[in-house]
Amino acid sequence: MSDLDRFFDKVHSVLETAYLAHEEPWRQSGMSGPEERWVSLRRPVADCMDRSGALLDIGCANGYLLECCLRWTAERGVRIEPYGLDISDKLVALARMRLPAYAEHLYVGNAYDWMPPRRFDYVRTELCYVPGEHERAFVERLLREFLLPGGRLLVANYMEGDPRPERGVLPENHPTRYILDRLLQLGLCPVGYRDGYDPIKDRHVRVAILDATSIP
């Protein structure tokens, strides 16, 4: 087994074990604390979507973020067609139960080498899904192979501004404190971003927006 395969096995094990230990849907999607914190720190994903289209959530877990994005965008008259991908078959099973009307849109797989059956208007992801040395290739592949013309890649950093970002990732990951700075270091040019803030825990989230022009 290669080092990369061992990394993905670790991601699978760590996330599946942590998420399935809880019953609240937001905890099964990786957010500790009350639902109000979830709304403050995940709604920025929906804020990046200003027109109707198809959304692929990479690392969709139990589908709760997709469910919330459907509701949050609908409040602004934006209609989203949800798709999800997760490395855990157990979490995807929960997502299919949560979103039965879209069960065929929810896939088990690893975005690093998964071949999408179609392209999307929006793709949400995180850099921590791959080791640090693979981040540039991972993001570039999503931009080139996953997006429709005019589509947007949404790269979320849920540890934005944290003085110790290594606490939230595996040792093989690059500990990203500021997502825009990291993307620029990788030679990628974001075209925008949306922010979230939880005043109770003083936590920040930033979702960077990239498109076809982000690759020089």
SS (H, E, C) 126-137: CHHHCCHHHHHH
What's the whole-model pTM score? 0.97
pLDDT of 32 reads: 86
Q: Please state the CATH superfamily assignment of the domain spanning residues 3-214 in this structure.
A: Vaccinia Virus protein VP39 (3.40.50.150)
**pLDDT for position 33:** 85
Task: Please give the Cα distance from 37 to 74 (Å, whole number).
Answer: 21
Kindly state the helix (H) or strand (E) to which residue 19 belongs, with its residue range: helix 3-20
pLDDT for 186 equals 99
The pLDDT score that the predictor gives to residue 1 is 81
Check residue 103 and report its DSSP letter. G
Looking at residue 214, what is its pLDDT? 99
Q: Which residues of the chain have pLDDT under 70?
A: none
pLDDT for res 168: 84
Q: What is the pLDDT of residue 156?
A: 99
Q: Name the nearest CA neighbour of 3 among 169, 132, 94.
A: 132
Contact 60, 92 (CB under 8 A): yes
The residue type found at 3 is D
Q: Which residues of 200-216 are buried (b: 16+ CB within 10 A; e: fewer)?
A: eeebbbbbbbbbeebee
